[in-house]
Amino acid sequence: MEYVALENLIDKTNYSIYKLVILAAKRALEIAEGQPKLVAVSASLKPSTIALFEIAAGCIQYKKSKVD
């Protein structure tokens, strides 16, 4: 089982755990639907874990909207 430290993720979403969860969930859904992976990881990992690795690597970023 792979582990992604929260410290590597939380700063990518303006220190909001809620934004991190939404970002990871949306990206995991895209991966599950067939979108290509943006990081080189094992094929046995679940889409949610791959999404967290992509966020930690900086491949996926939180986009600030006018509401935030």
Can you tell me the distance from the alpha carbon of 45 to that of 40, in angstroms, rounded to the nearest whole number? 11
Ranked by mean pLDDT, the top range of 2-6, 47-51, 58-62 is 47-51
Q: What is the pLDDT of residues 11-55, one digit of tens each?
A: 888 889 999 999 999 999 999 999 999 999 988 899 999 999 999
pLDDT band at 2 (very low <50, low <70, confident <90, very high): confident
What torsion, rounded to 10 degrees, do the Cα atoms 42, 29, 33, 57 define? Answer: -40
Question: pTM for the full model?
Answer: 0.85
Q: Looking at the predicted structure, is the pLDDT value of residue 67 above 80?
A: no
> By C-alpha distance, which of 54, 11, 8, 15 is closest to 31?
54
pLDDT of 1 reads: 58
User: Which residues span the domain enclosing 37?
Assistant: 6-57
Domain-located, residue 15: yes
| C-alpha to C-alpha distances, 41 to 37, 52, 68, nearest whole angstrom | 8, 11, 32
Domain-located, residue 26: yes
**Span 1-15, mean pLDDT?**
82
Domain-located, residue 33: yes
Total structural domains within the chain: 1
